[in-house]
Structure 1
């Protein structure tokens, strides 16, 4: 069953908001984001909130096998409840496809723009809960159709993970400038060499005043201290290291 909804906190409410999503999906999502927050707090106890509230709005596309047997796409925005307790607010939309393509298309990213605007309006109180769900249902149908249509052209081909990598991250500008051999790529080594696994998870954002647009590709839902980079930036400071002799797509 295809669903859409949101989960997290917003300033006008006293606790978590949870609408439209399966409980198991929301639980797994909450555990992942809680880990990201804990990693950010542990890495920079004095300044993590300043970086957190200035963090980019992350977009994501998760292949089947990570949250459940469906594709999940959506956005993540830093937020807090009425008492100032920090926790992101996320929109999640499911789609029934066998897997994700290894490219990013314009129509999909344009629909993500709309979802991001809806989320920001919801955070500001411009949309109520019922109105937010109704708007999400409309855009989610368009997004699923966009995922089903082969593109006439793609924005960029996405690099592949090596077997010894859990994740990679890089500026989008580097990938656009040299798709075959992008520079400034960092890697998060896998604890064990990967074998048969689901297709990757894709995470990207369009940049802020202090961070360029970035892309991250992971073999699973990221957890542990390296995830502090999602909110704090500075991938190498979070334990990622430069990828040596990158050959782009492998």
Structure 2
């Protein structure tokens, strides 16, 4: 390990330092936390209105991750009685771990504006008053009418009307009321797990490979568990690269360019 890596491990052993790294006090919009949450959770129907109470729950340095290795095959017996068995063998190799410099688990409170998709009404009625094919198309816009008629040997609107009963169902969603930031029901507690890789120099390809390898290893080692409110979990640990700002090469590999590039690959990059 280099001096930079050693210094950062000792520094981040202080929960206050780790919290400040993930959620800087001067970042009123909590951009880093939002980026990490986006890497871990798929919140398609929720808007984050606020972030608060970020706390370190636990951390571990130099955690070895042993991704399972899977071997699949088929066993045949060609003599009577004939049988076929599919086999899957899963094992862990303790001699080839993927090393994560720091695995951290944080807890935080999110102020969420959630669209629950509540249904206001469901109405089904039979459509019988169409007079032309274009009139029918306007009622059932999701249907390929030409293909439907060809499949059932229908050529005229009269034959179409007599062939079947056509039901149309309309589902109206309830319009959500005004958001109340003071309603305790809008406060949700979330976990945020980080896999931090500390590098003392900037090698873009190598760092990206290491981050993706760590993420894949953790995904294979830990079964996905749904998040709060049934939120979809994209990955159990968000990969984070910790790099020295003094090692930034300069244009075109500026700090902003590197942050943008790694973010597009789902990796948060922090320069210290």
State the TM-score, normalizing by the size of structure 2: 0.26
Question: Higher strand share goes to which structure?
Answer: 2
Q: Which protein has the larger Cα radius of gyration, Structure 1 or Structure 2?
A: 2
Normalized against structure 1, the TM-score is what?
0.28
